[in-house]
A and B are shown apart, each in its own frame.
Chain A
Amino acid sequence: MTTKQSFITIDGVSKHFGDVIAVDNVSIDIEQGEFFSLLGPSGCGKTTLLRMLAGFESTTSGEIYLDGKAMSEIPPHQRPTNMVFQNYAIFPHLDVSGNIAYGLRKDKLGKVEQTRRVDEALEMVKLPGYGKRRAHELSGGQLQRIALARALVKRPKVLLLDEPLGALDKKLREEMQLELRALQESVGITFIFVTHDQEEALTLSDRVAVMARGEVLQMASPQQLYNRPFNVEVADFIGQMNFFDAEVMDLQDDEALLDVQGLGQLKASAEGEFVQKGASIVVALRPEKLLLSEKGDAGDENTVKGELSTSAYLGSRSHFFVAVDGCEEPIEVAGQDAGFGAGESLQRGGEVWLSWARESLVLLPVT
């Protein structure tokens, strides 16, 4: 039995289904008490990885260590993990109390203690008094809470959640996100949370692993993922992003002189080994890092003139699309409340100026 440093170590794990490689050589370390998310588009292997942690799928290669113990020989019913299933999997032949108490049989608690634990769990998920209901009498959000209570009442070392909020409507989902985070902090259990919703992952998590095609593309805190994505794919998946082809003209110490399509020549701090003199790279800029104004200084290198093509009203804010000479696609800009208002005074087809801070430029390798 190997003892590893981290609480959970996923060590070079792969899973093949025939010719399909669902999970490809994934290595992740997760600390105790962490809220960790697996984020990626549908079919990227998130569920498969979670099911290997729970023990429902064997690993094709690699090993999972939990609290220092290798898991491959341990069947699901003996693992210190519990799962909230994507479809909740609430037993229809039992009432809510029966569902929550299901995993307590072996603890031999006695009736009074068991009832107390069940009531406590219902209290925790804010459904006190629901013990006698059946699954078909409950809404999606309530089923989700019962599934959570049923898993947490076992006091697992790790809670696995497979897109638990996916079936809920937007408002309920946002409510549940806050509750889930608060719950995780109060119980202090490690959560591994699967989602395809980047906003959800960023809101909830301490750390996020972005997956695609069975691989982990980047593993970082939400802030790092947002501000310093590793590559175009991650940047594209996390939030909105404008991409520009660019060439490195010159490189001096930490400073690169770039020729960026549409934006002209500008300087940026050179991060990453791919930034070499003469290399083709991609420059990325978040819509909310761009400032829109009616007047601008043509002499400033971090400014460019364009023409307003369309705007999209998103409720709390507006997004504008600005056509710039030399760019194939219009540049997306988030409207700021300050200064420019909601941009109502802007005319479609009118001349506008975009400016940005030099630190906002993200340099990415060409894929």
Chain B
Amino acid sequence: MKNVSYIDRPNRPLFVYAVLFLAFLYVPVLFLPLFSFNDSQYIAFPIENWTLRWYRDMANNEPMLAALMNSIRVGAVASILSTFLGIFGAKAVTRYRIPGQEPIIAVIMAPLVIPGIILGVALLILINRAGITLSLYTVTLGHILVCVPFAMATLMTRFEGFDKSMEEASADLGENAWWTFWRVTLPMVFPGVLASLLLCFTISFDEFILAFFLGGTDPTLPLYMWGQLRFPQRLPNVLAMGACILLISFFVVFFSQWLVRRDPDSPKSAG
């Protein structure tokens, strides 16, 4: 204990709290992959026979694969468009002194705090009024609305940690605004762009309420899974699917964190 500074000293109550907290967060989630290897349809301990057959079934499950493709398509388009809008929004609010900047940011960030169900109903009424048929396009539109604030928030940190004189140096060396954007601004905020793409994709991929209100006949994956829950015998299939999504999400988050850390000029490490 002698050589341990005050701040490094072990703190037993805090440690216990951390363990309990993590258990509370993750134990329920871990039941999902566990029971996906259970041969029985019923979720009960002890697990008697282990199997991989729910995973094998997935490969032949045409409707599920179609739903998965729908989700990927919606997620890809929504994340790319939100990030695109986010780049310009973040650049505008961090670079230029716009009159009424604070209220503008508040309005852009509002979908973060508006309950999804309200947003869903509001959009549904609007889209019906406009006479647009519900489809994956309308779902994508809704997802862009909820993703843009996240994209903005992610990119704004990146733009704020970005020295304005870099863009001036580019102009000084003869490049106009367009080339400066491509040759300096974008490469320098690129880790933020990737992080935003991944974040928006994850948000869109597991979004349920808007997909429920704004979707047409083609379901996204969460909608499909929800539909399957009506049939008890399909529960193990859903569990296997959920386990796969969990694994992939984990890797996506891990990858995006790694990207941000690896970057030597990130505002965090450069200070």
A-to-B contact residues, CB < 8 Å: 54-56, 75-78, 81-83, 85-87, 89, 91-93, 102-103, 105-106, 134, 136, 150-151, 154
Contacts and interface: CB of A to CB of B under 8 A. Distances in A.
Given A89-B168, A92-B264, A93-B188, A82 B173 contact: yes
A105 B175 contact: yes
Given A77-B172, A154-B173, A102 B183 contact: yes
Nearest to A54: B172
A77 B175 CA distance: 6
Interface in B10-24: none
A222 to B, nearest CB: 28
A102 B170 contact: yes
State the majority secondary structure of interface residues on A: mixed
A16 to B, nearest CB: 16
Interface in B173-188: 173-176, 179, 183-184, 187-188
B60 to A, nearest CB: 47
A136 B168 contact: no
B171 interface: yes
A102 B172 CA distance: 11
A154 B173 CA distance: 8
Interface of B: 163, 165-166, 168-176, 179, 183-184, 187-188, 190, 264-265
A85 B188 contact: no
Nearest to B165: A89
Given A87-B163, A87-B165, A93 B172 contact: no
B166 A76 contact: no
A81 B179 CA distance: 19
A362 B116 CA distance: 79
Q: Which of B170, B174, B175 has the most chain A CB within a 10 Å cutoff?
A: B174
A24 B197 CA distance: 48
Nearest to B269: A136
Contacts of A134: 264
Contact of B169 (A55, A89, A106, A136): A89
Contact of B265 (A89, A93, A106, A151): A93
Contacts of A87: 163, 165
State the majority secondary structure of interface residues on B: helix
Given A85-B165, A87-B165, A92 B188 contact: yes
23 contacts: A55-B171, A56-B171, A76-B171, A77-B171, A78-B174, A82-B173, A83-B168, A86-B165, A87-B163, A89-B165, A89-B166, A89-B169, A91-B169, A91-B184, A92-B188, A92-B265, A93-B265, A102-B175, A105-B174, A106-B174, A136-B264, A151-B172, A154-B173
Contact of A76 (B172, B183, B187, B265): B172
Contacts of B168: 54, 56, 76, 83, 85, 89
The 6 residue pairs across chains A and B that have the minimum distance between CB atoms: A103-B173, A89-B169, A92-B265, A89-B165, A76-B171, A93-B187
Contacts of A78: 174
Given A91-B184, A93-B188, A106-B174, A83 B169 contact: yes
Contacts of A103: 173-175
Nearest to B180: A77
A81 B174 CA distance: 10
B169 A154 contact: no
A151 B188 CA distance: 21
A151 B175 CA distance: 13
A154 B179 CA distance: 17
Contact of B166 (A81, A82, A91): A91
A78 B174 CA distance: 6
A102 B173 contact: yes
Given A54-B172, A77-B172, 11 more contacts: A76-B172, A77-B176, A81-B172, A82-B172, A87-B163, A87-B165, A91-B170, A91-B188, A92-B265, A93-B187, A154-B174
